[in-house]
Chains A and B, each alone.
Chain A
Amino acid sequence: MRSLDEWLEGRARAIARNTSRRTFLARLGGVLAGGAALPLLPVSRSSAGTGSAGPDSARVPAPDETITGPEGDPKSCEYWRHCAIDGSACACCGGSSTTCPPGTEVSPVTWIGTCRNPADGKEYLISYNDCCGKTFCGRCLCNRNEGERPEYHWYRNNDINWCAGATSQVYNCSIAVVIGQATERQPEK
């Protein structure tokens, strides 16, 4: 029976922690990483399209994905790319870490986080695109708030429903796309 106590306590901790997992994602337009012009408005209409900017043929440093355990599992909140995710992981919703579930739309604007890959020890820039147009997936709710900021600092806020920038503003889940390698961590703590 002792274990049951522990589960209950674990569950309560999960309740406490997971509440903000229900918060909803907000990220800086992927356009920034491509070096395009700074969007003065929260949504740069010119950034419409899929999140990762730049020509398809571009080759970039590739992370080592041979990781065992939760840090290597895109369905886990502990997946290494999920260091700044906020919402349902699309890998649990019919998508993957880089594909939205069937019938949804990739949000044109994203927030970018910097996550450390435990296999190669390098920091990567991650674009967290929302997948939009079907109602809330609800599975694999994940959240971390390191560096998260209130709505007046919009490109660091993860409460906002960033599907508001998409054709349909209904939030389904979030993906985590590697768009490059970073040399240092973000300034916000």
Chain B
Amino acid sequence: MKIIIAFIILWPFAGFLFNGLGRNYWSKKVIAYKATGYIVASFIASIFAFIQVQNHGAVTVHYFDFINTATVKIPFDFKVDALSSLFLLVITGVGSLIHLYSTAYMKEETAPHYARYFSYLNLFIFSMLILVLGDNYVIMFIGWEGVGLCSYLLIGYWFTNGNYNYAAKKAFIMNRIGDLGFLLAIFWLIVKLGTVNYSEVLTADSLAKLSSTDITGIALLLFVGAMGKSAQIPLFTWLPDAMAGPTPVSALIHAATMVTAGIYMITRSNILYSHSELTQNIIAIIGISTALLAATIAIKQNDIKKVLAYSTVSQLGYMFLGLGVGAYSGAVFHVITHAFFKALLFLGAGSVIHAMHHEQDIRKMGGLKSKLPITHITFLIGCIAIAGVPPFSGFFSKDEILAAAFAKSPIYWVLGVIGAAMTAFYMFRLYTTTFLGNFRGTPDQENHLHESPQAMTLPLILLAIASALAGAIGIPEMMGGHHWLSHNLIPIVGEPVELGLSHSLEWTLMAVSVSIAFIALLLAISIYKKKTDEEPLTALGKFFYHKWHIDELYNEVIVQPLNRFAGFLKNIIEKQVIDGAVNGTGKLVQYSARKVRLIQNGQVGYYILFMVAGIILLFMIWFNDISILHFFNKLTKN
């Protein structure tokens, strides 16, 4: 097992080194084969690991001690259990497909950059694997920061473009804000428990050692970390901007894997959250708010990737709602299905963009249905899946979350359904404007429209199949399934909580949500079949179009004041107050030198006068030794 895990981890890393160091030497072909091959190898190893876990249960392997001091010991341990093995499969599986896809998508790059791209991708997979494999929070944090770094590198892949760099930086910094929360949580754990190992922290015994404040605090801080990585309010604005990277990157990082790290982390620590009602409520509220907010914005976006990005944020909101209401396995379920269909959608979008010669504005597309048949079909499947139309995968996972939400509070459910409706609406708005209707681009583009090469369509097809069928792993018992996933996750999240809802109620809820989504879907097709968003927007529409002006708000309320504050420190406090005081002392000495030396005026008469005065002064001091010296001595001897 030790070796298998080492393989899983090291193959991507080897790919990183191979492509990173050899970027000037290999041909593109070699690069592509190696990069993809390593991930596939890792995927195969993951399958082995998965089977192993299914058969023999969780395994922990120890490599070496990362930190081992008298006070704290942090081993470099990996753990493969039900949760992480599942994630392993998703990461390496989807990762392999995206690698494959990238080999064709990035064809236009020169070899060194091609190599750089793949080395980043491999490094990303490596980090993500560390994140999910780690047996303690510190190892998780290593991966956590690693994926942040890789996303920074990949968003800024086209580094000569200033805006892309800005987006990359924004992503990294927002992630860092979250990371600070995560870090503080780790500190808190170490200080209180002296350990960060899951097996020692996440037990009833050690939780008993913590006060409720501790638990709430740790849980909240961890959630802050998750917020950053999984793009929740208020730290979500980086994700849409992150679309600056190449499209496969968006698919891999900003849809399928990295952003789900937050869900992974909270699922991992579910026992903490179960002990903290307050945190759970906060998570649920933030989750559903994010879902709705992002959905409203997605409705009005015209950039194909932006729509998908906001949809991702929105879906992540759903997952957090699931976490907040205690449906951990539901959240994980949604992670998995979302990984498939969102990767599919992004890759499909990539295919479109590829065909359109890097045109991303959907208003300039339309009617691509016939030109890009495979892309069209797969994209449609993705849309259906995300809209929650049964029996596609999105339906099952979303429904599980909604059901749990209803059990918690019907308000969550109502909001969730509204969100689902919006999701269906904007997804089909996207679909309709892109693939249906007439082509609205330039004739030049039209002439060059073509279906993507096989390396790109193959992943699309595979992902489409997965999107369509992945629901099978979590068919609720109510429908006759036995929900393999939640059974599988019992060691991690415990027995599924009985929702206390009657089957008929569940059926009703399901029907309501599906029909609402369906109505929204049809509405979108009918509206956008004919017209585009050329006409002026309404006030609300503008508001949504401008993303609620949140970026501007952050800029005005946080960034600018901080910048001004820094400028104030730099120019006023540093230069004038502190350095001024230092230099002022020097100036004072010089000034007094200039003045005091005037006493020495060259006149003997004055000199003798001063001497006489000096003698008199000596006598005065002698008369009045009113303990001036005592005073000073007291001062220093205190």
Q: Answer yes or no: do A and B interact.
A: no
B residues in contact (CB < 8 Å) with A = none
Chain A residues within CB distance 8 Å of chain B: none
